[in-house]
Structure 1
């Protein structure tokens, strides 16, 4: 499948605030509880022969939370309110998959390939068990990690997600493509369309989110290059291709799963989250009102409270 335009992919990347304001920081020895999303240095690890970039911060000890990023996203694409909210109680690990932003290697063209790099990174960091949080494309990767390494994944949160062969998942949805075509000035206001609904309340939450997203001014993650979007879209196409018994694999993911969706997700249609909940053996579903693909950024406090409740269960 061909991407409509490299320019659109780069516009989307810029829209999430992914401009490198300076070179990434050098690696440091160990995580510190005093470090936050805004100050966490970029570190590097050799993961099965590929140098991957990551940031590790928060309260050490216990089960860390590994976070898997969305389409053409990098480590600075996460909402600091959410990452710091989790970090007050646990260690948080953010990372760039192979070929993305500060990480080396080639961008995999399959979700399975992305999951392989993610597993290699977690193993290289000597993490024996982790909770996983995947957003959008990252949620597909998190599913695959839980499937391939059930020993590694304790609990899983899937945000803006969908199953293999899900509705509208074999390509970027028409609504999403229309959003990419619209002019936005500044460019990151694209996310007001992609992550939020047109309502006044949702747009107000969106502007608060953008303010938080822009807060880190130094040592930001580099922008994604023009090879990222086509490879990731190929991964979407392979994952979303219609097939017989497409959701059967979900029965093998036996970890507790929390599925989160917006009520009007136009990137991964909301019905796909319902399909996940119906087919995963141990899943619960939360749908936030008047919300699009970035529902957790519209309701960060509520999401944190519900996610903590889910993750803190034994």
Structure 2
């Protein structure tokens, strides 16, 4: 059943923009990726509509909170520091919840589960892993250069190139560059983009994966340039209680391009069903 509840938007604890979808009895915290830094920090009608469209299948069982990072991140803020912000949100506002982190959000979610396992019921690491691949690091360093040049349009276009496959991989970057000439992305604080890129490049959670207590689903695409099959498998193997699901020939946008399968696997996992090591 699809939720008909209208999304709620605002700021949690006065600084973290959020949009709430659904009214189910359980709570799901969604931590977004690097693109979170690329908007002005206010979920307007379009943002609320996109969130409702993306998470509507979850809305009968879950109240879904998509929570952004604060605008104006301090220079030098690490993934662990960002995870501490989400721990405070759970502790003070949402209590314990299942947590789904996407891309950079998956790094933050791992640190959250490592540092505060008491707040995380189940953990989903989506199109993410314990560290970037070498190819992924090269791409992110290119994004870093664009950020230094304040070329937000090229960051978005490059991300589209790495997310999609087939015709979308050709068309979406072109559309992003065309739209960017008319209405480029508008980060609330340009330094947030650089701080976030630095945090991703520096992160390596390999050493403490074995200490993450909540049961975890690692899910992504085999051809993801940032977190490819070998990183997904390494992350899964080092976690003490984890399942692995992979989409064959999918890239960093597997959660969008293979959305029906992604949602099926995630919901099965969140509801306690077995998701065996598998590929589609």
TM-score normalized by structure 1? Answer: 0.68
How far, CA to CA, are the matches of 2:200 and 2:189 in structure 1? 18
Alpha carbons of 1:96 and 1:184: their partners in 2 closer, same or farther (altered >3 Å)? closer
Per the alignment, residue 286 of structure 1 pairs with 245
Asked if the contact 2:5/2:23 (under 8 Å) is kept, the reply is no
Say how many residue pairs are matched.
249
Per the alignment, residue 133 of structure 2 pairs with 167
Deviations 1:75-117 (A, max 9, x none): 6496654311212321100111122xxxx66476200110011
Per the alignment, residue 95 of structure 2 pairs with 128
Matches within 5 A, 1:224-243: 224-240=188-204
Asked if the contact 1:79/1:297 (under 8 Å) is kept, the reply is no
Per the alignment, residue 35 of structure 2 pairs with 72
Asked if the contact 1:108/1:232 (under 8 Å) is kept, the reply is no
How far, CA to CA, are the matches of 1:222 and 1:85 in structure 2? 30
Per the alignment, residue 233 of structure 2 pairs with 274
Deviations 1:131-179 (A, max 9, x none): 0000111001000111111111011111121215x5328x73348838x
Alpha carbons of 1:108 and 1:154: their partners in 2 closer, same or farther (altered >3 Å)? farther
Per the alignment, residue 19 of structure 2 pairs with 55
How far, CA to CA, are the matches of 1:196 and 1:176 in structure 2? 20
Q: CA deviation at 1:263?
A: 1.5
How far, CA to CA, are the matches of 1:109 and 1:66 in structure 2? 21
Unaligned runs of 5+ in 2: 38-42, 176-184, 274-280
How far, CA to CA, are the matches of 2:77 and 2:68 in structure 1? 15
Asked if the contact 2:73/2:192 (under 8 Å) is kept, the reply is no
Secondary structure (helix, strand or coil) at the match of 1:237 reads: helix
Matches within 5 A, 1:247-262: 247-262=206-221
How far, CA to CA, are the matches of 1:268 and 1:173 in structure 2? 12
1:109 maps onto 2:81 in alignment: no
Q: CA deviation at 1:187?
A: 8.7
More helix by share: 2
Alpha carbons of 1:147 and 1:122: their partners in 2 closer, same or farther (altered >3 Å)? same
Asked if the contact 1:58/1:92 (under 8 Å) is kept, the reply is yes
Per the alignment, residue 222 of structure 2 pairs with 263
Per the alignment, residue 306 of structure 1 pairs with 265
Q: RMSD between aligned alpha carbons?
A: 3.5
Secondary structure (helix, strand or coil) at the match of 1:296 reads: helix
1:94 maps onto 2:57 in alignment: no
Asked if the contact 1:98/1:114 (under 8 Å) is kept, the reply is no
How far, CA to CA, are the matches of 2:258 and 2:74 in structure 1? 35
Asked if the contact 1:110/1:235 (under 8 Å) is kept, the reply is yes
Unaligned runs of 5+ in 1: 1-32, 211-220, 241-245
Per the alignment, residue 178 of structure 2 pairs with none
Asked if the contact 1:262/1:288 (under 8 Å) is kept, the reply is yes
